[in-house]
Amino acid sequence: MTGTSHRAAPEHTHPDDVSVPAAFAALADPVRLTLVRELANSPEWARSCGSFDVPVGKAALSHHFAVLRAAGLVEQRDEGPRRVNRLRRAEFEARFPGLLALVLRDDIRQG
Amino acid sequence: MTGTSHRAAPEHTHPDDVSVPAAFAALADPVRLTLVRELANSPEWARSCGSFDVPVGKAALSHHFAVLRAAGLVEQRDEGPRRVNRLRRAEFEARFPGLLALVLRDDIRQG
């Protein structure tokens, strides 16, 4: 094993391997919707997992990121002590056309 | 109480009162996706609850319809012994533009 992190590398699922129900389930949570929207407004790989303003503890946050990875929405990599993120915008859009756009529209009341 | 049915009339939620996470949660299930797609391909009020080809029992089916009503996706009324359904296509589209269309597109692999 190489690198400075003791954590296992995160496992990812490509959007092409994600079902429609799994994609909707990943987006059926207010915390995950906040993570997706904040990532959409940030440069790729700019945001560490601890940088999001969501009202959940570390274990819950880790679970939410696992769900987003499994739905093909988020890619993560470790940079030293930081785990950084990017939204898989193009790949997810190719698999589910218009779905991310719907979540990110600010003319739709999101509450 | 009037009418021939002993059941309580179904309770409905208007799509305007449905949150984004609740809408996605309602669509995050393969049985409910099947119900929505079959309703979209049927005339309004033509389909009774028992007319759908889904691999679930009566109690589970009743739960799925309750979730669809609570998400503003389905309206139901009793006609004698039959409970019949319509998809709230226009109202749901007004609240969540493009979401139903995405579910109903047949050029997207839905599995």
Q: Do the domain assignments include residue A80?
A: yes
Contact at 8 Å (CB) between A88 and A12?
no
Task: Give how many domains chain A has, as a whole number.
Answer: 1
Facing A108 at nearest CB: one of B28, B96, B105: B96
Q: What residue numbers bound the domain in which B45 lies?
A: 15-104
Q: Name the band, by pLDDT with cuts 50, 70 and 90, for residue B6.
A: low
Q: Looking at residue A1, what is its pLDDT?
A: 45
Facing B27 at nearest CB: one of A24, A29, A103: A24
Q: Which residues of B touch A67 (CB under 8 A)?
A: none
Residue B13 token pair: 């939620």
Is it the case that residue A103 has pLDDT exceeding 70? yes
CB contact under 8 Å between B27 and A21, yes or no, is yes
Q: Looking at residue B111, what is its pLDDT?
A: 63
Facing B24 at nearest CB: one of A19, A27, A97: A27
Alpha-carbon gap, residue A37 to A103, rounded angstroms: 8
Contact at 8 Å (CB) between B29 and B22?
no
Residue A66 token pair: 């696992």
Q: Do the domain assignments include residue B60?
A: yes
CATH code (residue A97): 1.10.10.10
Q: Looking at residue B7, what is its pLDDT?
A: 75
Q: Which residues of B touch A21 (CB under 8 A)?
A: 27-30, 33
Is it the case that residue B10 has pLDDT exceeding 60? yes
CA distances to A26, A75, A90 from A70, rounded to whole Å, are: 8, 10, 16
pLDDT tens-digit series, residues B79-101: 999 999 999 999 999 999 999 99
Q: Do the domain assignments include residue B52?
A: yes
